Amino acid sequence: MTYIKARKLEPRRSAAAISSIAGGTATLVTGLMLSMPAHAADAASSSATLPAVNVVDTADNGYKATQSGSPKFTQPLVDTTQTVTVVTKQVMQEQNATTLTDAMRNVAGAGTFYAGENGSTASGDAIYMRGLDTSNSIYIDGIRDTNTTHRDMFNTEQVEVIQGPSGSDYGRGAPTGSINLISKQPTLVDDLEASAVVGTNNYTRATVDWNHAINETTAARLNVMGHKEDVAGRDNVDNQRWGIAPSVAFGLNTPTTVYIDYLHVKQNNTPDGLIPTIGLPGYTAPSAAFAALGSAPKVDTHNFYGLTTDHDNSQTDMATVKVEHQINPTTTLRNITRYGETKQDYMATSFMLAAANLAKVTADPTSWTMTRSPNVNDTFNKILSNQTNVTSKFNTGSLKHDLSAGFELTREEQTVYGHATAVEPVVSIYAPNSNVAATNYGRNGADAHGTTDTIAAYAFDTIALTPQWEVNGGIRVDHYKTDYDSATACGGTGRTVVACPRGAAAGTPVQTINTDTSGNLVNWKAGALYHINEQGNVYVNFALSQQPPGGSNFALAAATPTGNSANRVDFAPQKAKTGEIGTKWELFEKRLLATAALFRTDINNEVSAVGDGTYQQIGKKRVQGIELTAQGQITPNWSITGGYIYQDATVEAGTAVAADGSQVLTYTPKNAFTSWTTYTLPKGFTVGGGARYVGGLAKGTDGAIGTPTHTDAYWVVDAMASYKVSRNLTMQLNVYNLFNEDYVLSINKSGYRYTPGAPRTALLTANVSY
């Protein structure tokens, strides 16, 4: 599928003309790239010799996308019987949204609200949507992405967010939605876009997106990115990454087209172990002996509790070959093959401000210390997938069909390397010293290995019964098999101690789990749509999605009645059933798409405790509410994108999960709102901005004493202004958190740690296009 619509080529400029126009921009881009590895800088500096091009957007008007990039969605988005929010390239560019987390701020109620388990923090994109974690349901061009890091958007054309179960689209996954990133592809348009960004907190970023039509049927594209920043409002935390994504297409505008893509991203970051929740609303104290902490002030949100040995180093490589063959004007056959791997070596210092971890030195709490410990994620993920799809339009009598069917073979592998527990010194709560290193850490051979093989077949059909009525349905059948084994270092101390075999030294890896599970998943969806008129419709949709044991993290657990893991091999898949009724309208001469939907998702087979101390799948959760979205243009000069969600998320049966004892689901705002709008003024000026509201979040429960039970609601306002200096150069200023709001972005399960919202920051961007 061609995601960028080609326009007629302009006459090619001479090398001298190109050098005159682009030389200054190339110099700026190259300068920013100097802090990155040499080969990334070399790729950026080559832009000085690139030919002149035009800019073309995928969306009709930059904000409104009309079609999904997935061939499984045969209908335009306005006629798709499900809530789908698309974050386009133009919106991401105007917001300087460089990561997936940034892009997801355009989806109401979706975000990184959860900061990890007790002794851990999230090492990648931890996105909650409609009440549940969606991090394991992220895809690139329809293929599961097993990446455990934060994803950069430099090679992404648009982000498609599917709310509600998507098991019939992608197989096993989160019960409340999925996220599909559409990669940039070569087109028959000579085009160059480059950007250079500088800002507060030592922020520098440079990108180049070059598309070149080699001849009438062949094109190449190169995307390059370099990024470096100190994280706003946090001492010692920083992000450094670079990436390159070359691609080539053969046979464009012919019956058979071949795309060959490669993506390489390297990251070297200092991770954030977060800060104590002392002083937040609802905080008391972990015990009577430390009651003084209940009235102690908040810690400085700049405080860094990590060590010089904290690191987050990763490398992602992904190669893709896609073949599209148009059998006839109404039928297209596609095959895509991908191999990808991600290596992540992550160690962040963590802490639990429980009574057992505190040391009382004086009567003054500001002199107290606490213990700290490492949070390690040393993983190697691989995926090999081959998918074949056919789409066809045909008639059976008076019925018109849009069919999409396919077959998938996928192998996913994960290795988690075991580590010796690092020794980390105690730290002052109010005046932490981070200029020290952990000792006695490194791989110890107690590794875990998980493999999931999937064979799947699916079919979707939309049938036009009359000009007004359409019905659609889809079914996907997966056969999966997951193998898992893990080892534990014997001896030692802690909650899980494994005895050493006779003659074995303490620390020897001892296999503790070696098991597997397999089964079949049948996921489906069915809907109906009625066209009220040319602009609007109403629809209804029902769907089933499932997540089997090990489906989210490749880990399995033994069939022990007292085990509370959803990954127990004797447990059935988690099931989510969703019903949605909605309406979609194309307004203002079809420049804007407005949607409204009522939804309910019931999630069954949740693990819950029973009276005899064992655990069974008797739990049930429910998420229901209303979602409103609007994307597009009100006038040719006024563009908007926004959404509102009300969600009532509760535990209907089983053990409560919220720290306040209520039946609400955690990390799920009841009300959330997001917006972004720009207006083009005369003489090349554009102004814009947006506001985001996130309602209060209930925190999870794990027996922690004295920690907050919730976070407060907050508003954040961002602003943007740009000026078109010339035909080829636009300057853009972004200011984030304009009113310097102090808020809690995310909180961990126990409530010991939280992520403070970033303070006011600013970025200045030079965008160049030819």
Q: What is the pLDDT of residues 727-743, one digit of tens each?
A: 999 999 999 999 999 99
Which residue bears the tokens 């789908």?
Answer: 84
DSSP 8-state code for residue 605: E
CA dist 311 and 436 (Å) reads: 14
Query: Residue 644 in contact with residue 631, Cβ under 8 Å?
Result: no
Distance CA 471, CA 402 (A): 11
What mean pLDDT do residues 128-143 have? 92
- Name the residue among 553, 550, 562, 484 with its Cα closest to residue 519: 550
What pLDDT was estimated at residue 207? Answer: 98
User: Average pLDDT in the 51-69 region?
Assistant: 63
- For 288-308, the pLDDT digits (tens) are 999 999 999 999 999 999 999
Which pLDDT score is estimated for 119?
Answer: 66
Sequence-distant (≥ 6) Cβ neighbours of residue 683 within 8 angstroms: none
Residue pair 335/323 in contact by the 8 Å Cβ criterion: yes
Does residue 257 carry a pLDDT above 80? yes
Size of the chain in residues: 770
CB-count burial class (<10 Å; 0-12, 13-18, 19+) for 216: exposed
Contacts for 551 with CB less than 8 Å, ≥ 6 apart = 136, 172, 173, 452, 480, 482, 573
Among 297, 313, 304, 385, which Cα is nearest to 347's? 313
More confident residue, 218 or 43: 218
Query: How many CA atoms does the CB half-sphere of 174 hold within 13 Å?
Result: 23
Instruction: Cite the DSSP H helix spans in 528-575.
Output: none
61 band by pLDDT with thresholds 50, 70 and 90:
low
| b/e per residue 351-389 (b: at least 16 CB within 10 A) | bbbbeebbeeeeeebeebbbbbbbbbbbbbbbbebbbbb
Q: What is the DSSP string of 64-100?
A: ---S-SSTT--S-GGG-SS-EEEEEHHHHHHHT--BH
Q: What rounded mean pLDDT belongs to the chain?
A: 90
Q: Give the C-alpha separation, 658 to 254, whole Å.
A: 57
Compute the C-alpha angle 451/128/542, nearest 5°. Answer: 85
Q: What is the DSSP string of 566-597?
A: TTBTTSPPEEEEEEEEEEEEEETTTTEEEEEE
Contact at 8 Å (CB) between 754 and 747?
Answer: yes
Give the DSSP H or E segment for 535: none
Question: Contact 138/161 with Cβ under 8 angstroms?
Answer: no
The band of 491, judged by pLDDT with boundaries at 50, 70 and 90, is confident
Displacement of CA 260 from its chain's centroid (Å): 24
Question: 421 vs 332, which has greater pLDDT?
Answer: 332
Contacts of 482 (CB under 8 A, 6+ apart): 450, 451, 452, 516, 517, 518, 548, 549, 550, 551, 554, 556
User: Is 334:326 a contact under the CB 8 Å cutoff?
Assistant: no
Q: pLDDT (tens digit, 9 = 90+) per residue, 179-233?
A: 999 999 999 999 999 999 999 999 999 999 999 999 999 999 999 999 999 999 9
- Phi, psi of 45, rounded to the nearest 5 degrees: -65, -20
Domain boundaries, the chain: 84-769
Classify burial at 396, counting beta carbons within 10 Å of its beta carbon; exposed 0-12, middle 13-18, buried 19 or more.
exposed
User: Which residues make beta-bridge pairs with 694?
Assistant: 672, 714
If pLDDT is split at 50, 70 and 90, which confidence band does 759 have?
very high
How far apart, in whole angstroms, are the C-alpha atoms of residue 659 and residue 662? Answer: 8
Cα separation, 157 vs 550, in Å, equals: 31
Question: Strands, E, within 351-372: which ranges?
Answer: 358-359, 369-370
Q: What is the pLDDT of residue 494?
A: 67
Between CA 194 and CA 770 the distance in angstroms is 9
- pLDDT of 42 over the 60 cut: no
Query: How confident is residue 640, by pLDDT bands cut at 50, 70 and 90?
Result: very high
- Count the neighbouring beta carbons within 10 Å of the beta carbon of residue 533: 8
Q: Which two tokens stand for residue 302?
A: 């700049």
Domain 84-769 in this protein, CATH class = mainly beta
Rounded to a whole number of angstroms, the distance between the first and last alpha carbons of the chain is: 25
Judging by DSSP bridges, how do beta strands 138-140 and 177-183 pair with one another? parallel
pLDDT band at residue 702 using 50, 70 and 90 as cut-offs = confident
| Spatial separation of the C-alpha atoms in residues 562 and 616, rounded to whole Å | 9
pLDDT of residue 671: 97
